[in-house]
Amino acid sequence: MPFFYGIDTTYIIFVLPALIVAMWAQFNVNSTFNKFKTMGNRHGYTAHEVARKILDMNGLTHVAIERVSGHLSDHFDPKANVVRLSDSTYSSTSVAAIGVAAHEVGHAVQHATAYAPIKVRNTIVPVVQISSFAAFPLAIIGIIVANPALIWGGIILFSLTVLFQLVTLPVEFNASRRAIKTLDTAYILDENELKGAKKVLKAAALTYVASAAVAIGNLLRLLVLANGRNRD
């Protein structure tokens, strides 16, 4: 039964555990970054300098680097061809900041080399922006008014959100692998410093795994609720 004495058991079974993991993952990435933000690199490179160095090594001299406000708000903007590094990253010489910067440059390299998963993710982004907002309400309204078309329309739309989360995983993992490999082979970080950068990027990767788990949990919840409504 989806409900037990007025309690939505589908939320408790499918979503709540994933949300707890997601909260832990977010706490873990912040605590890991804070741990290694005090560990500098032997060359004294800033994250901005490392990002520029790796971009130039890959022939991406046209990709700019900008500073943005916030903490760990770092990202690559493919439309503007800009790597944006946050206040906590840009001028820092820590192995944590350098790992984050190299990861974002990894996304720029993915775009430049037409990495397949990122092409898939970019293709479905416009649809996901709509589906992530409308899918769940549409399905719930369909369940309430017992309209199968609305229910399955919402479920199909939300499935695109799940697909986006799943495709994001190889994109993020690959960007981190590229970052660590370059930091190692270009002798930007030494062995001990590299271990710190790896831990930061591993913690960040877990947040994407947790997000995917939350999305899958919500999809399973919708399927169970829809099945329950069909039985009624």
75 - beta bridge partners? 84
> What was the pLDDT predicted at 7?
58
How many Å apart are CA 111 and CA 99, to the nearest integer? 19
> What was the pLDDT predicted at 140?
87
Q: How many residues does the chain have?
A: 232
Burial environment of residue 54 by CB neighbours within 10 A (0 to 12, 13 to 18, 19 or more): buried
Angle at alpha carbon of residue 44, lines to 42 and 48, rounded to 5°:
130
Q: Whose CA is closest to 221, among 140, 132, 148, 164?
A: 140
How many Å apart are CA 124 and CA 127, to the nearest integer? 5
> What was the pLDDT predicted at 54?
98
Which H or E element spans position 67? strand 64-68
Strand pairing category for 64-68 and 75-77 = unpaired
> What was the pLDDT predicted at 4?
44
Q: Whose CA is closest to 39, among 210, 226, 190, 225?
A: 190
> What was the pLDDT predicted at 1?
46
Summarize pLDDT for 55-91 with one digit per residue, the tens.
999 999 999 999 999 999 999 999 999 999 999 999 9
The parts of the chain modelled with pLDDT lower than 70 are 1-7, 229-232
User: Count of CB atoms within 10 A of residue 178's CB?
Assistant: 22
Phi, then psi, of 3 in degrees rounded to 5? -125, 140
**Catalytic residue set:** 104
Buried b (16+ CB within 10 A) or exposed e, 90-119: bebbbbbbbbbbbbbbbbbbbbbeebebbe
Q: In what order do the strands lie in the sheet with 75-77?
A: 64-68, 82-86, 75-77
